[in-house]
Structure 1
Amino acid sequence: MRPSASDRNVRVARKHRRLSQEQLSFDAGKKRSLLSDLERGTRDPSVRAIERSATALQIEPWTFLRPPDA
């Protein structure tokens, strides 16, 4: 499975905030393995996972859905 725009956007936002997967997963209340799967594109994120990740990253949830070059 190839990573989608939302998968890449999660990784880019996390790295921009200089957070590890473990730190983001703790802040978002999700397991690190789920975050890893989302970033690799092996799982589709739920609306709740998008919302919690966005809140932890202090960004709007819709930013995960835009094309990476936008």
Structure 2
Amino acid sequence: MTLQTKFIKNLVAFRKQDKISQEKLAELSGLHQTYISDIERGVRNPSLKTIEKIAKALDVEAYKLLK
């Protein structure tokens, strides 16, 4: 499994666990909803800074999204 695949799987799992929509995650992280959607579909590769924003919005440590 690639790092990107692990990240996507963990991102979606944490988001759904918290019952947060892509739109709400976008709002909490300061990103656009279509960007979140693109990340989850593997169309875009987020920077480390973006991963940190998403992790903060999900209230998890960034490394857990990559684990």
Q: Fold-level match, TM-score > 0.5?
A: yes
How far apart, CA to CA, are the structure 2 residues paired with 1:23 and 1:46? 20
Count of paired positions: 64
How far apart, CA to CA, are the structure 2 residues paired with 1:39 and 1:63? 16
Identity %: 36
Given the alignment of the two structures, is residue 22 of structure 1 paired with residue 54 of structure 2, yes or no? Answer: no
| Pairwise CA distance, 1:49 | 1.0
After TM superposition, where is structure 1 displaced by more than 3 Å over at least 4 residues in a row?
none
Q: Aligned-residue CA RMSD in angstroms? A: 1.0
Kindly indicate which of the two structures has a greater share of residues assigned to helix: 2
| Pairwise CA distance, 1:8 | 1.1
Unaligned runs of at least 5 residues, structure 2? none
Report the TM-score when normalising by structure 2: 0.90
| Pairwise CA distance, 1:22 | 0.2
How far apart, CA to CA, are the structure 1 residues paired with 2:14 and 2:58? 7
How far apart, CA to CA, are the structure 2 residues paired with 1:34 and 1:48? 14
| Pairwise CA distance, 1:15 | 0.4
Residue number in structure 2 paired with 1:49? 50
Residue number in structure 2 paired with 1:5? 6
